Amino acid sequence: MSLPEDTTVLVVGAGPAGLTAALSLVHHGCHDFVIVDAMVEGLRASRAVTIHSATVEALASIDAVDGLLSQAIRGKGFKITSRSSQIFEAKFDYLKKYSAHPYALYIPQNVTELVLGQKLQSLGVQVQRPHRVVGMKQNEKDPRVTDVSFEDGQVIRARYIIGADGARSIIRTIAGMGFSDPEGPNAAENSLVQMVSADVTFEPEPVDPFTLEGYLSGTVFSGNFFFFAPFGNSFNAELTGDEKPTTKSIFRVACAIPRKNGEPPHAPPKEYIQKLIDTYGPACITSDPSLNPRPVKVDQLVWSTRHRSQSAIADRIFTRFGAAIFLVGDAAHIHSPAGGQGMNLGMRDAIFLTEAITKHIQASAENPDGDDAILQEIADARHARALEIIGFTKTLSNLASLAYDPYAWWMPVSGASVRDLVLRILGGFDCVQSKVAWGLSGLGRR
């Protein structure tokens, strides 16, 4: 498909952050933009599954949340468990005094992208696919325009470029924006750096309070962390791609892979996932009769992947390369999935940055030689927010990775056992549950 030769704004990448940026541009009155993606179609995989309260509010502010509200599971809270019992629970009901949306939305990322894409289409905007950026250079005639070249030979001249093209961002690379752990090249890695995620069905289906829809759970065991999310059968068609999808409930499982176990396979098979569940998962979904009086096994492996849980941030998320260039989402920052913050931060970045961009467009129409103060101010604020989130997720990951090994023969306690005891005690106080729900919601760090 042919691309226009000129546009005011070019959005590169049509994941959640890029689609949100496009919707926000429309909402704020900017219609001269193009959104492109390198893929023929989006991935059919659940990936990020949580949209927190602050992000729901932000999407509502640009009239882009109704479709998600109609399809998502409204999350009631988050549980931390041992293999057989609950350690701590954070209920989102505590958010009622702070937000009109006192819940998280549990919805697979591919469904989020589908819903946002449909909303964009209803506004007359189509994602242009597949168009892969391969180069950028400052326009020879206008120093505030960049010529963006694509793999198929087409070129677009743009005044603003939003790089929403993922952790390996070509926009970031060409613009010369660094990308590293904020703690430096020698930052310590915790034991959760290797992860495996999968969507599965079970036979028979598990029956246990941990599996109730509306709750996500994280199981801590043997210095590891196992994530468990029930989707019910709400998204079976979107996750399987089948015309006649399974009627069984689909569950998301994710598990850290200890370094001693070596590198996990690229697309872990069903047997590998079953072994992880039996070794680290909550007892209610294991096949081991000594742990589970009603053993269950993985029946269908819908999707699986491996990934590394690393932290990195661009040294800046706004620069001039002729055009004003911005980074959002994974192009700007990556970090541990602990707390489900990554996609949320990227979507909020997109909304706040595009609001500033539209204001700058309007100001530039009146004063073409005006400065970039409004752009730099919001970019600095979003960069600071990303650093805060990275610190938050590192703290969560470090707590989750504490081992149960005793400190010494003369001190038969461990960091993990102390953590569990403290959580069990503090979990009985409403003020603590409220603070944890607040921290996860993002309402205090929009």
3-state secondary structure (DSSP) of residue 401 = coil
Cα 181 to Cα 315: distance, rounded to the nearest angstrom: 10
Residue 208: per-residue pLDDT: 60
Lowest mean pLDDT among 26-40, 150-164, 232-246: 232-246
Q: Which residues pair with 51 in a beta bridge?
A: 105
Residue 188: per-residue pLDDT: 60
Please determine, for residue 244, whether its predicted confidence score (pLDDT) is greater than 90.
no
Q: What is the tens place of the pLDDT at every residue in 318-370?
A: 999 999 999 999 999 999 888 889 999 999 999 999 999 999 999 998 887 78
Vertex 254: Cα angle to 329 and 84 (nearest 5): 135
Please determine, for residue 285, whether its predicted confidence score (pLDDT) is greater than 70.
yes
Mean pLDDT in residue range 399-415: 79
Lowest mean pLDDT among 52-61, 203-212, 380-389: 203-212
Give burial (CB, 10 Å; 0-12/13-18/19+) of 144.
Answer: middle
Residue 186: per-residue pLDDT: 67
| Cα–Cα separations (whole angstroms), residue 157 to 9, 161, 354 | 9, 10, 19
Please determine, for residue 446, whether its predicted confidence score (pLDDT) is greater than 80.
no
Q: How sure is the predictor about 309, in pLDDT bands with cuts at 50, 70 and 90? A: confident
Give burial (CB, 10 Å; 0-12/13-18/19+) of 100.
Answer: exposed
Mean pLDDT in residue range 97-103: 95
Please determine, for residue 111, whether its predicted confidence score (pLDDT) is greater than 80.
yes
3-state secondary structure (DSSP) of residue 104 = strand
Cα 253 to Cα 397: distance, rounded to the nearest angstrom: 17
Please determine, for residue 122, whether its predicted confidence score (pLDDT) is greater than 80.
yes
Mean pLDDT in residue range 388-412: 83
3-state secondary structure (DSSP) of residue 196 = strand
Query: In degrees rounded to 5, what are phi and psi of residue 380?
Result: -65, -40
Q: What single DSSP character describes residue 393?
A: H
Query: In degrees rounded to 5, what are phi and psi of residue 331?
Result: -65, -25
Paired sense of beta strands 6-12 and 155-163, if any: parallel
Average pLDDT, the chain: 92
3-state secondary structure (DSSP) of residue 70 = helix
Cα 303 to Cα 47: distance, rounded to the nearest angstrom: 10
Residue 404: per-residue pLDDT: 82
Residue 301: per-residue pLDDT: 96
Contact 54, 441 (CB under 8 A): yes
Mean pLDDT in residue range 188-209: 82
Q: Which residues pair with 89 in a beta bridge?
A: 79
Which of 176, 140, 175, 181 is closest to 161 using CA atoms? 175
Cα 314 to Cα 337: distance, rounded to the nearest angstrom: 18
Contact 23, 33 (CB under 8 A): no
Mean pLDDT in residue range 433-442: 94
Q: What is the tens place of the pLDDT at every residue in 62-90?
A: 999 999 999 999 999 999 988 888 899 99
Please determine, for residue 408, whether its predicted confidence score (pLDDT) is greater than 70.
no
Q: How sure is the predictor about 49, in pLDDT bands with cuts at 50, 70 and 90? A: very high
Please determine, for residue 444, whether its predicted confidence score (pLDDT) is greater than 90.
no
Mean pLDDT in residue range 121-145: 97
Please determine, for residue 54, whether its predicted confidence score (pLDDT) is greater than 60.
yes
Place of tokens 């000594």: 290
Q: How sure is the predictor about 222, in pLDDT bands with cuts at 50, 70 and 90? A: low
Cα 103 to Cα 443: distance, rounded to the nearest angstrom: 11
Please determine, for residue 212, whether its predicted confidence score (pLDDT) is greater than 60.
no
Mean pLDDT in residue range 217-229: 81
Q: What single DSSP character describes residue 283?
A: G
What is the full DSSP assignment across 65-131? Answer: -HHHHHHSEEE-EEEEE-SSSEEEEEEGGGGGGT-S--SEEE--HHHHHHHHHHHHHHTT---B-S-
Please determine, for residue 170, whether its predicted confidence score (pLDDT) is greater than 90.
yes
Cα 72 to Cα 114: distance, rounded to the nearest angstrom: 12
Percent of the chain with pLDDT over 70: 96
Residue 368: per-residue pLDDT: 79
Q: What single DSSP character describes residue 209?
A: G
Mean pLDDT in residue range 400-410: 77
Count of residues for the chain?
446
